[in-house]
Amino acid sequence: MTVAIHVEGLDKSFGGRRVVRDFSIDVEEGRITGFLGPNGSGKTTTLRMLCGLLTPDAGRGTALGFDIIAQSWEIKRRTGYMTQRFSLYEDLTVAENLEFAARIRGLDRRRERVDEALAQLGLAERRRQLAGTLSGGWKQRLALAVATLHEPRLLLLDEPTAGVDPEARRAFWDEIHNLAGKGLTVLVSTHYMDEAERCHDIAYIAYGELLARGTAEQVVEAAKLFTWRGEGQGVDRLAPQLLDNPAVEMAAPFGLALHVSGSDETALDQALEPYRKPPFRWTKTKPTLEDVFIHLMHGVEDNFR
């Protein structure tokens, strides 16, 4: 596989606070890499450094074969960027927004490109509709059409489906996989665990540090976390009591059930022993990606605290 992005030791600070610290990553061409982490963890800052929109304070690397500092303009020309908030012109139609984007970029075959984009993302019947009247899901499709109109080699998506209904999210992700299948490299920041699992691989960042890297399965396996699922009337109310035990790193209700996790299997079993009686039933289960991410947060210092 060809490496689309290779960076080492990236650092970035704002107002004396170190937002990204010693960040290194390789991303293969044609892969969808998900960036996860709490708010303020440095995800967006990292994405912007990778495509030349921000200059790192330290570190080096390449994206699409170009130096991220000395040749950032070349990277920008070959990158599509979709922001979290809808940033197109709401008083222009769907087609007019695409035509405007094509003119700004000085693209050739403008009418042909616009028609292809409209057809590709199912927007053809809405070409004359004002962008401001679109639902959240259709606005995201239009934003994606604009971001890919110039046929980029790298696509950055910053919380692309925030506030979008599940059906629209699925359609959006189907299109992202279609684009990646054609060789487009996609970097996406998200808070949704199900979206993380739809990525080819993930990078978990907490307060500027890369804590985990790999496929969802690899990240779960590497965490070496032990999890029990509790069921029975009132089991979801045990979380505060269990969290008083240092062996319990996480106790989170899932509906009427309770997920309890810890990294020391023996100590965790002992912590649960007083509750292994009716009406409670406990089953050992595989930790979820959410379980692992909460586990990874233990011991990590908030650099804005």
Rounded CA gap, 21 and 35, in Å?
A: 15
- Structure-token pair, residue 61: 């690397």
At 103, give phi and psi (nearest 5°): -70, -45
DSSP classification of residue 277: S
What pairing do the DSSP bridges indicate for beta strands 66-67 and 58-63? antiparallel
What are the φ and ψ backbone dihedral angles of 102, each rounded to 5 degrees? -65, -40
Domain end, chosen from 187, 219, 251, is at 219
Distance CA 94, CA 127 (A): 5
Look at the block and give the residue holding tokens 């299109």. 175
DSSP labels for 156-198? EEESTTTT--HHHHHHHHHHHHHHHHTT-EEEEE-S-HHHHHH
Q: pLDDT at position 302, please? A: 61
pLDDT, position 291: 87
* Distance of alpha carbon 265 from alpha carbon 286, whole angstroms: 13
Identify the CATH number of the domain in which residue 19 sits.
Answer: 3.40.50.300
Question: SS3 of 108, please?
Answer: coil
Residue 300 lies in a domain: no
> In terms of domains, do 36 and 58 share one?
yes
Tell me, yes or no, whether 303 lies in a domain.
Answer: no
Compute how many other C-beta atoms are within 10 angstroms of the C-beta atom of residue 166: 10
Taking phi first (over 0 means left), then psi (-120 to 50 degrees means alpha), and beta for anything else, what does residue 64 get? left
Does residue 293 sit within a domain? no
What pLDDT sits at residue 300?
A: 64
Burial of 162 (0-12, 13-18, 19+ CB in 10 A): middle
Specify the pLDDT at position 168: 84
Is 145 domain-assigned? yes
User: Any residues with CB less than 8 A from the CB of 220 and at least 6 apart, and which?
Assistant: 286, 287, 288, 289, 292
Both 34 and 57 in one domain: the answer is: yes
- The reply to whether 23 and 86 lie within a common domain is yes
Give the Cα separation of 100 and 103 in Å (integer): 5
**Same domain, yes or no, for 165 and 253?**
no
CA distances from 140 to 93, 202, 203 (A): 14, 22, 24
Q: Are residues 156 and 261 in the same domain?
A: no
Q: Which of 190, 200, 208, 210 lies closest to 290 in space, CA to CA?
A: 190
Q: Are residues 62 and 192 in the same domain?
A: yes
* Domain region containing 144: 3-219
Tell me the average confidence (pLDDT) per consecutive run of 10 residues in the chain, 305 residues long: 92 91 95 89 88 92 95 94 87 96 94 94 95 92 94 93 82 93 94 88 90 94 94 95 94 92 95 96 93 78 57
Angle between helices 136-147 and 94-104 (to 10 degrees): 20
89 lies in some domain? yes
Q: What is the pLDDT of residue 270?
A: 96
215 occurs within a structural domain: yes
Same domain, 69 and 212: yes
Give me the amino acid identity at 170.
R
Looking at 219, 238, 268, which one is the last position of a domain?
219
Q: Which of 219, 238, 265 is the last residue of a domain?
A: 219
Please report which residue ranges of the chain form alpha helices under DSSP H: 43-50, 72-77, 94-104, 110-120, 136-147, 166-181, 193-198, 216-223, 239-242, 265-272, 289-297
Does one domain contain both 256 and 211? no
In a domain, 24, yes or no: yes
Number of domains in the chain: 2
- Do 232 and 206 fall into the same domain? no
Same domain, 79 and 122: yes
Structure token digits, residue 304: 């804005």
User: Is residue 37 one of the residues assigned to a domain?
Assistant: yes
For 77, counting Cβ atoms within 10 Å of its Cβ (0-12 exposed, 13-18 middle, 19+ buried), the class is middle
The answer on 235 and 179 residing in a single domain is: no
pLDDT of residue 299: 60
Same domain, 46 and 149: yes
Question: Domain containing 280 — which CATH number?
Answer: 3.30.70
